[in-house]
């Protein structure tokens, strides 16, 4: 029996693969669970159409993300914090602070997408990576200055 896989099946294949399986395995396991569909010409055309739509959607999301990345890289944020003599902050600049500044600038970025390993605890300029959809990332310019 030939089937078209709708989900990845271990030891069998990837999504969209046409594979030959035993009649009982296909009829009793793959088809009822929605893991595969019968390999007919109509189903193959439908799968190709859905794949084309998926690729178009991914391309559109990637374009939007790259446009957003360009806008984000043009921005520079400045934070004023109390600091000691050696340039160490009494507080810190966290992802939540950066997300609030982005929101005020008109960008809605979740703070979990701001990839800051440790909160910024010293004065200076930093490049903070921001993860965007479709494997696109941007570097925000963040400056931390001492309070006068």
The model's pLDDT over 90-127, given as tens digits with 9 standing for 90+, comes to 999 999 999 999 999 999 999 999 999 999 999 999 99
Q: Are residues 37 and 92 in the same domain?
A: no
**Domain containing residue 9: CATH number:** 3.40.5.10
> Which pLDDT score, from 0 to 100, does residue 67 have?
95
Q: Are residues 50 and 76 in the same domain?
A: no
Q: Are residues 92 and 133 in the same domain?
A: yes
Domain boundaries, position 6: 2-64
Q: Are residues 53 and 11 in the same domain?
A: yes
Q: Are residues 80 and 140 in the same domain?
A: yes
Confidence tier at 87 by pLDDT (50, 70, 90): confident
Q: What is the mean pLDDT of residues 55-74?
A: 94
Q: Are residues 142 and 76 in the same domain?
A: yes
CB 120 within 8 A of CB 89: yes
This prediction's pTM? 0.69
- Non-local (6+) Cβ contacts of 116 within 8 A are 94, 95, 98, 128
Q: Are residues 125 and 141 in the same domain?
A: yes
């Amino acid at each position: 029996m030939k089937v078209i896989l709708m989900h990845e099946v271990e030891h069998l294949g990837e999504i969209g693969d046409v594979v030959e399986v035993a009649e009982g395995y296909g009829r009793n396991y793959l088809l009822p669970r929605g893991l595969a569909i019968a390999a007919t010409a109509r189903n193959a055309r439908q799968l190709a159409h859905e794949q084309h739509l998926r690729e178009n959607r991914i391309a559109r999301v990637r374009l939007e993300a790259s446009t957003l990345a360009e806008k984000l890289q043009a921005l520079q944020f400045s934070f004023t914090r109390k600091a000691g003599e050696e340039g160490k902050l009494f507080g810190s600049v966290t992802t939540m602070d950066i997300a609030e500044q982005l929101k005020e600038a008109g960008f809605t970025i979740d703070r979990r997408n701001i990839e800051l390993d440790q909160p910024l605890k010293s004065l200076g300029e930093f490049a903070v990576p921001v993860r965007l959809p479709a494997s696109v990332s941007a570097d925000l310019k963040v400056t931390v200055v001492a309070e006068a």
